[in-house]
Amino acid sequence: MIAMIEIYTDGACRGNPGPGGWGAVIVRDGQPETELSGHSPRTTNNRMEIQAVIEGLGAVPPGEPVCVVSDSEYVIKTQTRGWQKKANQDLWAELDRATQGRRIEWRWTQGHSGDPFNELADRLAVAASMPPNGGSDVQPEGAPRLSHITETGEARMVDVGDKEITERVAVARATLVMKPETIKLIQSGGFEKGDVLGVARVAGVMAAKQTHGLIPLCHPIPLAQVTIDFDTTSREGELQLTAMARATWKTGVEMEALTAVTVSALTVYDMCKAVDRGMLIKDVRLVKKTGGKSGDWSAE
């Protein structure tokens, strides 16, 4: 099939992963008709190669036959030889939609071999990889990264298989603001539902043990101990809750402590809401953690 419209595409990335850009040149009857480009603050070279094709196809009316020309074997051979789409599933799905019902020829070209339109697409992609404001969006070497996000932006469960087993401790705290009369009822055991703090303590322990079932990417952890303590005397009209979780394992127990203190506070609210619906749960936070590769940390 001879296509009258050619789409030359290219992708670029500074860091891989890092800031990237894509470029596409629409060529009609041998003459450049449209130049397209775009920027992504954090991406990979392969993602930019796919994005360039998607954007290029989007600029051509669906009924017109086209020839996509790219120096990316990743793109061309995936389309022509059935290479497995192991990564970038979101963009491959978008490209599948963009190609549906179209007459497309896929052609690979050697990069930087003197093809003027391939060189132009490359220049567009490289220029687009620069931050739009002229500053720098390159993440410094050694800067913190989100461990639950892959290089392509997909959520993942962190592999802790090779991590060292050490003792891990985490302490979390929350405050429940209520009427002074409600505090007095709690202290005197004046609620028909029973021992408010006793039930809240059990609820917090149970919640900590179920954290991995509530937070999608948390690991099941063999907890050695969970404690919930209550302070009704630190400030009038406030109940302070403190949860501690401890385990000897490959990953931390911060989420277990936070889940425990949150569910404990919710349980107090549930048991007391009949007399005080205006209660406020606030300042839920991690205050301390020990163990693990990152060492000890304290908010206080």
| Segments in the chain below pLDDT 70 | 1-3, 132-147, 149-154
- What CA–CA distances, in Å, run from 274 to 13, 114, 237, 241, 293? 58, 78, 17, 21, 46
Write out the DSSP string of 216-228. Answer: TTPPP--EEEEEE
270, 276, 283, 296: the active-site residue: 270
What are phi and psi for residue 50, nearest 5 degrees? -65, -45
Q: What is d(CA 74, CA 80) in angstroms, rounded to the nearest whole number?
A: 10
pLDDT at 164: 79
Q: Supply the pLDDT for residue 1.
A: 45
Residue 137: per-residue pLDDT: 52
Q: What is the pLDDT of residue 227?
A: 98
Our answer to whether residue 195 is catalytic in this structure is no
Q: What is the DSSP string of 250-276?
A: SS--HHHHHHHHHHHHHHHHHHHTTT-
Helix (H) and strand (E) counts in the chain: 8, 10
Read off the pLDDT of residues 46-104 as tens digits, 9 standing for 90 and up.
999 999 999 999 999 988 999 999 999 999 999 998 888 878 889 999 999 999 989 99
The pLDDT of residue 134: 58
**Alpha-carbon gap, residue 214 to 137, rounded angstroms:** 35
- Predicted model pTM: 0.55
